[in-house]
Chain A
Amino acid sequence: MIPSVLTPALVLILGALLVVFFRGRAKSAYLLLLPVLVGCLMLTFPQGKIITAQFWGYDLVFLRVDKLSMIFGTIFCIMTFLGVLFALQVKDDMQHVAALIYAGSTLGVVYAGDFLTLYIFWEIMAVSSTFLILASRTKEAKNAGYRYILMHIVGGLFLLAGILIYAQANSSLEFNYIGLNGLDSWLIFIGFALNAAAIPLHAWLPDAYPMGTPTSTVFLSAFTTKSAVYLMARCFPGAEPLIWIGAIMVFVPIFYAVLENDIRRVLAYSLLNQVGFMLCGIGIGTALALNGAVAHAFCHILYKALLFMAAGSVLHMTGKIKCTEIGGLYKTMPLTCLFCIVGAASISAFPLFSGFVSKSMIVSASAHEKMALVWLVLQFASAGVFHHAGIKVPFFTFFGHDSGIRTKEPPWNMLLAMGIAAFLCVFIGVYPAPLYSMLPFPVDYVPYTGAHVVGQLQLLMFGALAFALLILSGYYPPEIRSANLDVDWFYRVFFGRFLYPVLDKSLNGLNAMAEKRVLGIVGAGGKVLQGFITRVLLFFSVNAWMLMGYRGKRLELKKHKLYTDVQAGTLPVGLGAAISTLFIVLVYMIT
């Protein structure tokens, strides 16, 4: 049996607070031990609601264990280990602490069986991940982190509003399938959708993720969006809007990914595209589609992390990550290059790599439901993914034009983390049975049929032919140092330059006018009130001081000091709190 209060979230969050007490190798060992501990803890979980409590008449479920939460818990645990291993050489403790709290709160979200627990971990997740963006300590990162947290606070408020209405209507905080019906479900849906970076609420992701440090972006890429995918799969399977949101998400970001210059921003846009596949699968909502979405989330976390690790290694070793600045790095980073290609092959869903066994479930599910348009869009996006994430990322980083940069492989721990991730990508692709056995529904799906393998290979290889011909003929759009406008323009420019001055003039003008009018009346009343408050304070304080043994001159001095403090408004907060407490105690004693 497990101790009755230890949840994976608590182990990681409390464990994170102790990181600062370790140094050197002990710290490395400790950091790696935490996710291993969580993994062992998870092995002992029986099915069902394990840890529950009561709060104001509501049932709280800290640990709900079923197949859906277990598979996400497992992959988040693996990812925490890989992320920690990859970041082992980082000297900045703040990053380790923030990353562990972030991973822990994500596990809290995944295992939460009620909305209050969910909401608390949801907000911890938003705050801790912001620190991972700020960890770069550049001006751009600071600004991006600020925009990031603002967006997530807005999303959190939508969620909170939805939860409050939901709790009122159902007189319970526990949740499972909700479905889109009524205001509360839509508010909750919007809250989840923002974290899933669903278009049009997606712009925070490509804005903020590329600003992280080489190691922190690896964490960022894994947790927030996929925990939202988990919640969508639990609460809104079969919600039709998700099909269309998903279809738009697989489609639009790939154009941006083609244009982007920053490799990590290319990967951020391809992350949106991949989450689109998952949301689409959840929207279709059949057992096959949901299995596909969950399996795809599992594989995606691994290969996306692998790609961000490869990009992070390049950034760590060269300090550069823009297509226009790097190239030809295969010469001195052959292993990193190899791992990057494995990640690229996996995200492109090449046969024998992990993406193939998961993504094809979603595509097949759309075919079973005879959704021809969705099917065509998904196939188009599959070719597009291969184009930008499968070819562009490794080509412009490791091949392409020789930038002249000569560097070395990254430290052993980074290579090891990439190696493990790459191994898992290939292992799942070659032998998907263990993954399939973890899926929420029984799996009756065979990915490796002749027609499917040949069809997929044709799709990818002829896509590659297009790339090769366009590059050789010079029609391929050159990489340009640029900023490409996205939806975030609305809050970065439209709001900042146009809406803000209008609001400033109108609302603050209103304030100023109101102040003038109201101040005259309030000012007179205020004087009277001040005297009254002073008297009340003195009454209670003098009683308290006399209880404490102050007499004579010392009492006079105290009274005088309090009087002047109140008049000047410099009363210490602690004293105010103490007096209000005393007031309550007195009231209790009298009644």
Chain B
Amino acid sequence: MYFCFEHHVAESLPKTHFVKSGKDMKKELKIFDNPRNVQRLLIGFYLSLAMLLASEFFIHKHASYPWENFFGFFGVYGFVSCVLLIFLAKGLRLIVMRKEDYYDT
């Protein structure tokens, strides 16, 4: 898990290196340092997704296009859009990415 991994990294580093004094440490929020909280957040997130799909049964659709009537159209479209976005962006990187100081030299 991504978050757990970060948690271990944060644990393994010497804290005094980052934190100036004990007073500052008390002020810090650490809610996502605990992997269980991240887990809870994700579970809540997945539940809300299910509820969103379920709520489609209770609403009256007034579609402008026929495809809007398919069950979960917007969910699928949003998901596919974002996956497509990421993979196309990765492809774009092959074409447009240069070193950070490209324009300076």
A residues whose Cβ falls under 8 Å from a Cβ of B: 254-256, 258-259, 330-332, 334, 364, 367-368, 370, 372, 375, 379-380, 383-384, 387, 399-402, 404-406, 449-451, 454-468, 470-472, 474-477, 480-486, 492-493
Taking chain B's interface residues, is the majority helix, strand, or loop, or is none over half, making it mixed?
Answer: helix
Taking chain A's interface residues, is the majority helix, strand, or loop, or is none over half, making it mixed?
Answer: helix
Q: A259-B92, A476-B86, A482-B97 known; A462 and B102 CB under 8 Å? A: no
A461 touches B48 (CB 8 A): yes
B96 touches A486 (CB 8 A): yes
A463 touches B82 (CB 8 A): yes
Besides A255-B88, A387-B86, A400-B6, 17 more A-B contacts (Cβ < 8 Å) are A255-B89, A259-B93, A330-B32, A379-B74, A401-B9, A449-B62, A450-B60, A451-B62, A454-B56, A454-B59, A458-B74, A459-B74, A462-B75, A466-B78, A466-B86, A485-B102, A492-B103
B13 touches A404 (CB 8 A): yes
A455 touches B68 (CB 8 A): yes
List chain B residues, Cβ under 8 A from A401: 6, 9
Bound-complex Cα distance A584 to B13 (A):
82
> Contacting A451 at CB < 8 Å: which of B49, B60, B88?
B60
| Residues of B71-85 whose CB lies within 8 A of A | 72-79, 81-83, 85
Can you identify 15 A-B contacts, CB atoms within 8 angstroms?
Answer: A255-B88, A332-B29, A364-B64, A404-B18, A455-B68, A458-B53, A463-B79, A464-B45, A466-B79, A471-B2, A482-B97, A483-B99, A485-B98, A486-B96, A493-B103
Closest CB in chain B relative to A42 CB, distance in Å:
38
For B87, the closest partner residue in chain A by CB is A475
B residues whose Cβ falls under 8 Å from a Cβ of A: 1-2, 6, 9-10, 13, 17-20, 24, 27-30, 32, 42, 45, 48-49, 52-53, 55-56, 58-65, 68, 72-79, 81-83, 85-86, 88-90, 92-93, 95-103
B24 touches A406 (CB 8 A): yes
For A258, the closest partner residue in chain B by CB is B89
List chain A residues, Cβ under 8 A from B89: 255, 258-259, 477
Bound-complex Cα distance A387 to B72 (A):
19
Bound-complex Cα distance A354 to B53 (A):
24
Most chain A C-beta atoms within 10 Å of own C-beta, residue among B19, B55, B61, B103: B103
